[in-house]
Each structure stands twice: as C-alpha cells, then as structure tokens.
Amino acid sequence: MKITPQVDQKMGATVTEFDVETLSTSDALRLKDAIYQEKLLILKDQHLSPQQFIALGKALGTIEVYYEPMYHHPDHEEIFVSSSTPESTQQVGVPKTGAFWHADYSFMPRPFGITMTYPQVVPRTNRGTHYIDMGKVFAGLPEELRSVARATKGLHSARRYFKIRPSDVYRPICELVDEIEKKTPPVMHPTVFVHPVTGEEVLYVSEALTCELHDQHGRALEDDSLHQLLEASGQLDTTFSDEHIHTQTFTEGDLLIWDNRSLVHRALHSPTPEPSTSYRVTVHDDHAFYGPTT
C-alpha cells in the first residue's frame, strides 16, 4: 500500500496498491492514521462488491446505518445510495444528495468520524466534491471570531435539507415539519472542538445544518457571528474560488475516504441528465467525536 500526497492540491493523498481482501493489521492502522493526517484519501483502482465495501467500513470501525430508509441499498442497509437514474422507472436511493455545505450527521447527537463514498456510475462532466478543512479555517480566524467560537455552541438541524419522500406526496407540510422535529430534534455541538486524534481545534459550523449560535446561558446570539464564521470559512462563496475550497474530482475505481470531523463538504452534480450513482458507507471510529472543548 502506497500513500502519496496529491501534488499542487490543498489537501488529500492517493492510496495505490490497496486491496481490502489482503489488508494487514498494520496497513489498516496506516490507512486510519492517514485519514486524520491527510484528511482526504483517494483509493485508486478499487473494484469492490457491496460486501467488500461494507468489509472496508468494518475494518475502520462501526458502520452507522443512515436513519432514513429511502437512501438504503435494496440489499445492504449499510450502504447509502445517491443516484440519478433518468432511464430507470424504479428509483434506487436518492438523487443529487449533499449539494450544500455540511458535515455528515452534524444534526445528530453523535456524528461519525469517517465518511467513504464510492462512485459507481461516474458522469463525464461535473462530478466531484468540494471540501473545506475547518481546522485550517479556525487557525486562520481573527482572534475575536475565535473567542466567539470558543464561547458558544451551535444548533444543528436537518430541517432545511430534509428530502421529501415519495410517501410524503399530498401530506400537509406542517405534519412533515413536526415529524422532522420529532425524529431529529435540533442538537447542540461546540462551535469549536479539539480533534481527538490530531489535537487541532476544528470549527464545526456549516451553511446547511448550523442554524444558530448560543451563548453559555443557552441564549441565541442575535448578531451575525455565525454568518461571519461561515463567510471566513469560504462556505458562502458562490463562485467556489475561495482559497479554502479544494475540489476533488474522481474517476471510475476511485474510493474517497475523509475525516468527517475536520472537513465540511458539498457535492457537485452534473446538470445534464446523465446517470450517476454513488455508494456511501459511514463509520464511527474508536474515538469520541469531540474531546474536551476549548
């Protein structure tokens, strides 16, 4: 197994000569270590069955099954399917997922540390994912904003990006909203936490899922601090040219693994009606999601 940092890129390393079938304990440890050091890994030339993809997840930790069954692979609930299949009448998974800045599962009480995506059908144009390293963002913030982050918590909710299910057609929207609030009540996370492996302080806010910042008395801040933090991170840049944004493209055989504590991401989807399918497996590692807050 060879790990090679990507040249002239803001982050990431490629992993070659990786074979899940013959993965030694020491290589599994090296791979895990590289996830946290490099933040984003691109495993090359992978030809895995769903079972092998799931086995890779289990080699890294404990798989989290997505809470909404609409996303599940029909035979393997561990696999989340993002798929636009214009030719097919039977939709599998959900089209165009994650096209907004977020960290996976930040709207849940216990998010997972590792996300893997494994593109199955790769469109010719516009397929990729944007990433921002929120540890780097925090390190570059002006001191006033760092203090605000250290003194507050963020409220995260799935409510704005919950996807309407086929079974929701003709339901009153208020009923659906109530259901979202009940099933996934908003959760608080520290605005900045110490990464349990790297020790870095990570700014944990996203444009899609962080709704408010609260002070130590639990009162919502009425100023624009959240907006300022998001602005400073590059997540509000509609041209995607902010210095923090890394855009990772992929080809068939690539399998992406990233540190879901450090990075926020945003999927890029092709505007053409080309078919596109991607599998995802998400994993809790052996560490608490965040250590003691700063």
Which residues bind to ligand 7UC, rule: CB under 6 A?
94, 97-98, 102, 104-105, 161, 163
Q: Which is nearer to Fe ion, 93 or 98 (CB)?
A: 98
Kindly state whether residue 154 participates in binding Fe ion, applying the rule CB under 5 A: no
* N-term to C-term CA, the chain: 36
Q: Please report how close the Cβ of residue 29 comes to ligand 7UC at its closest, in angstroms.
A: 26
The answer to whether 113 and 285 have CB atoms below 8 angstroms apart is yes
Site for Fe ion in 46-105 (CB under 5 A): 98, 104
Count of residues engaged in binding Fe ion, rule: CB under 5 A: 2
Q: Please report how close the Cβ of residue 139 comes to ligand 7UC at its closest, in angstroms.
A: 25
Q: Which does 161 bind (CB under 5 to 8 A by kind): Fe ion, ligand 7UC, none?
A: ligand 7UC
Biggest CA pair distance of the chain: 55
Q: Which is nearer to ligand 7UC, 157 or 225 (CB)?
A: 157
Kindly state whether residue 259 participates in binding Fe ion, applying the rule CB under 5 A: no
Residue 178 tokens, joined: 């109530």
Q: Which is nearer to ligand 7UC, 18 or 118 (CB)?
A: 118
Q: Which is nearer to ligand 7UC, 18 or 71 (CB)?
A: 71
Q: Please report how close the Cβ of residue 69 comes to ligand 7UC at its closest, in angstroms.
A: 13
The answer to whether 260 and 111 have CB atoms below 8 angstroms apart is yes
Alpha-carbon Rg of the chain, whole angstroms? 19
Q: Please report how close the Cβ of residue 8 comes to ligand 7UC at its closest, in angstroms.
A: 30
Q: Please report how close the Cβ of residue 169 comes to ligand 7UC at its closest, in angstroms.
A: 17
The answer to whether 254 and 69 have CB atoms below 8 angstroms apart is no
Residue 138, φ and ψ in degrees, nearest 5: -60, -45
- Residue 138: partners with Cβ closer than 8 Å, 6 or more residues away: 146, 149, 192, 200, 201, 202, 203
Q: Which is nearer to ligand 7UC, 13 or 54 (CB)?
A: 54
Q: Which is nearer to ligand 7UC, 149 or 209 (CB)?
A: 209
Q: Which does 163 bind (CB under 5 to 8 A by kind): ligand 7UC, Fe ion, none?
A: ligand 7UC
